[in-house]
Amino acid sequence: MSTHPEARSVRGTAVVTGASSGIGAAYARRLAAGGHGLVLVARRAERLRALAEELTGRHGVPVETVVADLGDARDLDRVARRTAGDDVELLVNNAGINGYGAFAETDAALLEKVLAVNVVALTRLARAAVPGMLARGRGAVVNVASTLAFAGSLPPDPLPSRAVYGGTKGYVVTFSRTLAAELEGAPVRVQVLCPGLTATEFHLTQGKDSVAGDAPRVHDDGGMPADDVVTASLWALETGEVVCVPGLVDGEAVDRIVAAELGLRSSATGTLAPRYQGPARH
C-alpha cells in the first residue's frame, strides 16, 4: 500500500478492476479526486504503480495495487478476499477482454478466458462485495458491459466478430438488471454501464496478453473519451439509473426494452402458439 504523508480523511474504499488504462484508470482518477481510497487491480504492475503514485501525490488518498490476472483462479481468489473487506463501499467491475474473431477459428482457450474474466470474475467479485455492503447498509456495484450486448443479430463489419464477447456482455446486462431488481429497496445500488466505442487501447489486443509498454495508447478507431464514459456512469449512479448508456440520447429506449421483455414473458403459458401448430416441415 502506498499513502500520502498528509493523507486526508477519505471516503470508503473503491475496488476498480482493469485499472491500468482506459475506463478503469479514468474511474480511479475521478474516485480519488472525490476522496475515495482505492484498490486498483490489473495485470500490469508498472502501470498500476505509476497510477498509484499519481493519485496519492495529487489527492492524498490511500491506494493499494493488486497485480492479478482475473482469468486465473488463484489471482481471482486473492482479489475476491480483498473485495469482501469491511471498508469497501464501491466495486467497479471494469476488467474485460474481447477475444474478437470468427467463432470457429478463434483459439478455444482464449474464448474460455473471455468467459472467465468477463463473466466468472465479475460475478465472483460482486458476490464477494454485496453481502458486506448489505450488512453495513451502504454500497454500490458498477458492472461494465458494452453496447455490443444489444448487437446480437447485427453482422460483423464494421462491428467485430464477437459471438462470445457479445454473449458475455449480454450476461452482464441481464445479471446486473436482475440483481438491481432483487435489491430494490436495499441500501446497495447496482448499475450496468454500456459504453459504445471508447477511445482506449481495448481494440489493440484480443486480450490474451496485455498491451505492451508503460504509456497509455488509443486504438485508431477513436471513440468517446473514457472520462466522459465515467462522467455518465457516476451521474447515473447518483440518480439511480440502472442501465447507463453514455451516448444514448433517447433514455426511453431502455423502457422499450422492458416493455418488449414483458411481451415475451407473457408467452410463458401452457398453450402452444398457433404458428407452431401446423404440420412440421422438413
Burial class of 153 by CB neighbour count within 10 A (0 to 12, 13 to 18, 19+): exposed
Q: Is 27 a catalytic residue?
A: no
**Cell 497509455 belongs to which residue?**
216
List, in order, residues 6 or more apart from 220 with CB less than 8 Å away: none
Give me the sheet containing 36-42, strands edge to edge: 63-67, 36-42, 11-17, 88-93, 139-144, 188-193, 243-244
Run of H or E including 258: helix 252-265
- Which of the following is catalytic: 100, 165, 171, 276? 165
The alpha carbon of 128 is separated from its chain's Cα centroid by a whole number of angstroms, namely 15
Phi-psi region of 88 (alpha: psi -120 to 50; beta: other; left: phi over 0): beta
Q: Which residues are catalytic?
A: 165
